[in-house]
Structure 1
């Protein structure tokens, strides 16, 4: 990241075209005035000043003004709490990865990246770090259990730049941290969902299994006769339903014909075959997928084992989900170290219980609520959380606000595991003004 002097020069250059008079100087003076660092919190004045300037200039540091607007929309009421970066970037194989903003507390992080192709047109609206969840990592120190995710928020075809949000959520540390992003592949994936009417299953009869097909690896495997039940798929993007039904191999087959203009090694077709009356998704426990060639055409076959016509009326097939690439991923080596600010937090050990499980720790920051519970399941993430504030007002979070929920059974104590959950507030709160917290119908904290 640029030093303070370079940062001031960037700010001056960004503001040079604006007629702001004393307002410009006021922003800059506040941003760079000497100040005492508070324990547990990095200085925020530069970040707040940057946001004020960004609001005036529409795009101070972001390469694309359109993507800056998308970023501001996603930050929403969190803009004042966010960090802004300048000069924090790395380049390889003609692609630049730059950090432009971050929103974080002691265990929850969202980092916004601009990814720009400077030499070609290898990105798109679904630009992705790595290939299908692999070939990238976001690492924070002193963290063990964690969840990661990513989402492409927008794409500017003129500058060939994508805005990607990466998220990380783990257990709390209360320490300022540096996030390390490592990346080996960047891809422009395609995805869509195709519906299959449930009546399609009920109308099928047992098909003949053929052994003479050629898989990608040159092996043989039984599949349904391609084309027996050929049908277009809505929004199919070149894919079509080739066959659907039972085979004498004791499996239920879902088979699609593939278009030619895709990278077959990165093709994934997913669905779930459920029992209407029994265990949910029980037929996915014995599932095989193959890519094979038949009479010069390529097909993708999903076979659910142990499913015969005798249980036809009990079957329910979900929509088909397609995930694939049209061009191969761009390979390279991109690494960024991103300093993260940590706001003050309040930590409570309430010595209360919920559903007979001890509430070991409650952590409140302006962004999130974190709970650590001695539990033998992870179901608390589905619970509603109700806060009563100092002024008597209430704030209610539901399961949609729960950004992390996991159970660590490897650290069992007294016969139970360890549940960790984190809920994200819709806007910043003042933790010290929380008077009580209820998980479901049980009050787990009260002043």
Structure 2
């Protein structure tokens, strides 16, 4: 290891031997820098944090190991990688219920984007796993699991609408689901779905709790076992009944094996061979029988007239007629874990900009070590899909692919956050309020690795180039070709 460290010292052109790493000391120094006055903080961010980031990233790359500093910080370091020195360590924010201790370990935050790192430790046994999710939703999976400490780590994305008025964030957890089975590309046979009328019923009052359905529709489900059909590739889930109810609404009722529940709707996007389907995409997904049955219905998309033209398993439409399913193989661990903490945003280099691009008025650029945030006003369009490149003083360039994150600032400010009984979050908007013709948007590009904001000398947005000097960006000029061409 000593020889590798000496080689690392040479490759990084360090002016002294690499010191013994003390991650706790690094975090203390980072937090001190974040709390410093602006001039001191700027110097700190340009020198000390950059050194620490490169060093930690290199050590992780060389050893594949995390810095053991106690608690769950080692898992946080693995998840953050070279962003570790920029993260805020959060202490003393935890809750325990149902034998699980849930703690906020860290946060990485600027004005554009915040990620909270939350650990969940089983204090009573081995109920958790590497596929654990929270609040029963796809996409809420843990980023790592340590069987020795029986701890799962989650990286939870947060937006401005998730913040309370006092700048705090409240995380609400109602359940953790440790047993997951993912099934993809399950085939439907040609005769899997029936166009006959089937027996149906209304959900009982008790069954309606936790279910939601579209306005103007009714909570109706098919009775099980009317025309069962297997799904190719699995015996864990199958079609129990399919067909139209007495009101002409089309249903597919799925059933799972004993001890399992189906979380995600397995039905594919439906298409038709010689006609356009109705433009409505309303779908009702209703669960009953303690989660064993999942009824998927199409109030207005599938009709008796177009059903004979439904396309299933046709080679020319490979995405139609295939099922994806997410099954829970054990029951959830339920409880109430509510955590409130205050994210500390990274220092920002704020730049004034004044330019009009395709009807969008660009007004401000915010640069941090982890992102570039562009503020603008427009009648609805944003440059989130434009090719974006950021130029650094050393001559290097960062090119972004894919869409940036879009924030509708006007809507975000007027949204009311609502936490449902199952812990899921919805945002309520007052539809009676008249929206402005031109709206305020913020578009954020996240850097793949940390940068020094002071070293950014320009950026291009599509074919428009904006030099940066001091506290302003622009004026813009046109490029003959994209930087990547």
Task: Give the TM-score normalised by the residue count of structure 2.
Answer: 0.65
Q: Could you list the per-position Cα deviations for residues 83-113 of structure 1 after superposition, in whole angstroms to 9, with x for gaps in the alignment?
A: 4456654434432223333322244222222
**Structure 1 residue 152, shift from structure 2 partner:** 0.7
Residues 215-226 of structure 1 mapped to structure 2, 5 A cutoff: 217=206, 221=220, 223=222, 226=225
Indicate yes or no: 2:67 matched with 1:77.
no
195, 199, 203: which is aligned to 2:185? 195
What is the SS of the residue equivalent to 2:384? helix
More strand by share: 1
* Distance in structure 2 (CA, Å) of the matches to 1:376 and 1:191: 44
Residues 409-428 of structure 1 mapped to structure 2, 5 A cutoff: 415-428=437-450
422, 439, 442: which is aligned to 2:461? 439
**Structure 1 residue 397, shift from structure 2 partner:** 0.9
Residues 274-423 of structure 1 mapped to structure 2, 5 A cutoff: 274-275=270-271, 282-285=279-282, 287-291=283-287, 299-306=293-300, 307-312=302-307, 313=309, 316-317=320-321, 319-322=323-326, 324=328, 326-338=330-342, 340=344, 342-377=345-380, 380-399=383-402, 402-406=404-408, 408=410, 415-423=437-445
Which residue in the other structure is 1:115 paired with?
A: 120
Residues 162-241 of structure 1 mapped to structure 2, 5 A cutoff: 162-170=152-160, 179-188=168-177, 190=180, 192-197=182-187, 200=190, 204-211=193-200, 217=206, 221=220, 223=222, 226=225, 228-232=227-231, 234=233, 238-241=236-239
Q: Could you list the per-position Cα deviations for residues 370-396 of structure 1 after superposition, in whole angstroms to 9, with x for gaps in the alignment?
A: 122212335532332122333443321
* Distance in structure 2 (CA, Å) of the matches to 1:97 and 1:127: 13
What is the SS of the residue equivalent to 2:281? helix
* Structure 2 unpaired stretches of 5+: 1-16, 209-218, 312-319, 415-432, 467-472, 476-485
**Structure 1 residue 274, shift from structure 2 partner:** 4.1
* Distance in structure 1 (CA, Å) of the matches to 2:386 and 2:265: 33
* Distance in structure 2 (CA, Å) of the matches to 1:275 and 1:199: 16
What is the SS of the residue equivalent to 1:76? helix
Change (3 A) 1:221 1:27: closer
Deviates more, 1:375-384 or 1:29-38: 29-38
Change (3 A) 1:30 1:322: closer
**Structure 1 residue 337, shift from structure 2 partner:** 2.5
What is the SS of the residue equivalent to 1:350? strand
* Distance in structure 2 (CA, Å) of the matches to 1:247 and 1:255: 12
Which residue in the other structure is 2:256 paired with?
A: 258
Instruction: Please say if residues 272 and 281 of structure 1, whose CA atoms lie closer than 8 Å, have aligned partners that are also in contact.
Output: no
**Structure 1 residue 231, shift from structure 2 partner:** 0.4
* Distance in structure 1 (CA, Å) of the matches to 2:256 and 2:27: 59
* Distance in structure 1 (CA, Å) of the matches to 2:24 and 2:52: 6
Instruction: Please say if residues 213 and 222 of structure 1, whose CA atoms lie closer than 8 Å, have aligned partners that are also in contact.
Output: yes
Deviates more, 1:86-95 or 1:425-434: 86-95
Which residue in the other structure is 2:38 paired with?
A: 39
Change (3 A) 1:419 1:325: farther
**Structure 1 residue 58, shift from structure 2 partner:** 4.1
Query: Once superposed, what is the RMSD of the aligned Cα atoms?
Result: 4.7
Residues 75-114 of structure 1 mapped to structure 2, 5 A cutoff: 75-84=80-89, 89-114=94-119
* Distance in structure 1 (CA, Å) of the matches to 2:177 and 2:458: 46
Which residue in the other structure is 2:147 paired with?
A: 157
Indicate yes or no: 2:68 matched with 1:60.
yes
Q: Could you list the per-position Cα deviations for residues 95-153 of structure 1 after superposition, in whole angstroms to 9, with x for gaps in the alignment?
A: 222333332224422222221111244433233444449xxxxxxxxxxxxxxx85411
397, 420, 430: which is aligned to 2:452? 430
* Structure 1 unpaired stretches of 5+: 1-19, 134-148
Aligned length: 397
